[in-house]
């Protein structure tokens, strides 16, 4: 069994705020006078979201956002990640702090520094809560268009709130050159995945594992080549799947879908990207060739330049020897 840290990887679904190192989380909580956010178990998505809000509220200064971004680059490089697309809730932070552009500007500055220092390529996806207004999504799109490093936008959060109100803004974002990636099929069923693809124009779906419950949705994903950003440990931690072994990832692969391996919220699961590949190896009996195929799928499903995709793929071939 080959070293999974050495496997060149693309990381497509991870929330920047949820990559904070334990020491940073503790220091921020102490500074802000709040309890250190726990790791669960959670009694539903809302409890998990409230925990995340506690941590995000501790991020206040440009230095907070900058350092988080630099450390993200260092930690990804240490996991063998060659390319990452990190998700960030820029407009929410900006509105909270009374300076719409500051958090994203600080993150971009940190990512530029971190990439130079650690040799990893990172791009940004800006997400928007389904619970928030259309106007906030418009502001998110405006922020996204201001930086070359931001490659896309998408809706996330509680799937009880429909995507339909945002469809017009999403079409405008796509026309302006942004890519679309939505969270769906995580806490809601396969119809949420269908909505993300047909109404939201999703080119990839964050999570999406519940698509397997409806053959027609599986067929839709397969026909359109929409990749799924699967996050096994996150789904278990949030109580959406009973165990890693019970996760439908093997069924998604058997159905001919494009599956990628991701961490989502590593500060909650305690698992970085190479460890997620190790989970797939142990829980599903995948061999090195299977894991290499997942790494190649992640690179090909990314929004990286063709040269970066090719570099990752060649690296995977060398890993296999």
pLDDT along the chain (321 residues), means of 10: 97 98 95 89 82 92 98 98 98 98 98 98 98 98 98 96 97 98 97 98 98 98 98 95 98 98 96 98 98 98 98 98 94
**What is the DSSP code (8-state) at residue 135?**
H
pLDDT value of residue 175: 98
229 in active site: no
Distance CA 217, CA 194 (A): 6
Burial (Cβ within 10 Å: 0-12, 13-18, ≥19) of residue 174:
middle
DSSP-derived 3-state class of residue 149: coil
The 10s digit of each residue's pLDDT in 49-96 is: 888 889 999 999 999 999 999 999 999 999 999 999 999 999 999 999
- Of the candidates 182, 199, 284, the one whose C-alpha atom is nearest the C-alpha of residue 241 is 284
Which residue spans within 204-266 are E strands per DSSP? Answer: 204-207, 227-230, 259-261
DSSP per residue, 27-65: HHHHHHT-PPPP----SSHHHHHHHHHHHHTT--SHHHH
* Residue pair 91/127 in contact by the 8 Å Cβ criterion: no
Peptide bond before residue 179 is cis, with ω within 30 degrees of 0 = no
pLDDT value of residue 52: 87
> Which of 17, 159, 186, 203 is the catalytic position?
186
The pTM of the full predicted model, rounded to 2 decimals, is: 0.97
* Residue pair 300/310 in contact by the 8 Å Cβ criterion: no
């Amino acid at each position: 069994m080959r070293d999974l840290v050495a496997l060149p990887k693309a990381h497509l679904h991870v929330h920047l705020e949820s990559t904070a190192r334990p020491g940073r989380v503790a220091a921020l909580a102490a500074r802000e006078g709040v309890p250190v956010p726990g790791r669960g178990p959670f009694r539903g998505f809302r409890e998990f979201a409230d925990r995340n809000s506690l941590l995000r509220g501790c991020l206040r200064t440009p230095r907070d956002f900058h350092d988080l971004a630099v450390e993200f680059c260092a930690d990804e490089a240490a996991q063998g990640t060659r390319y990452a697309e990190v998700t960030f809730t820029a407009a929410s932070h900006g509105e909270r702090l009374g300076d719409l552009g500051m958090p994203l500007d600080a993150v971009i500055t940190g990512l530029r520094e971190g990439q130079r220092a650690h040799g990893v390529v990172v791009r940004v996806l800006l997400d928007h809560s389904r619970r928030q207004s259309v106007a906030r999504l418009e502001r998110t799109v405006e922020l996204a268009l201001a930086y070359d490093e931001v490659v896309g936008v998408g809706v996330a959060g509680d799937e009880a709130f429909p995507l339909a109100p945002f469809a017009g803004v999403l079409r405008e974002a796509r026309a302006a050159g942004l890519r679309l990636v939505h969270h769906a099929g995580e806490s809601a069923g396969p119809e949420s995945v269908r909505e993300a693809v047909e109404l939201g124009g999703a080119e990839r779906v964050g999570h999406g594992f519940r698509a397997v419950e409806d053959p027609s949705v599986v067929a839709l994903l397969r026909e359109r080549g929409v990749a799924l950003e699967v996050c096994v440990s996150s789904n278990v931690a949030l109580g959406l799947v009973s165990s890693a072994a019970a996760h439908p990832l093997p069924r998604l692969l058997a159905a001919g879908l494009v599956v990628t391996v991701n961490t989502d919220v590593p500060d909650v699961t305690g698992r970085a990207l190479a460890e997620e590949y190790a989970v797939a190896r142990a829980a599903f009996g995948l061999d090195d060739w299977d894991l290499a195929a997942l790494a190649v799928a992640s690179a090909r499903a990314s929004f990286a330049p063709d040269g970066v995709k090719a570099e990752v793929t060649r690296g995977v071939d060398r890993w296999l020897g």
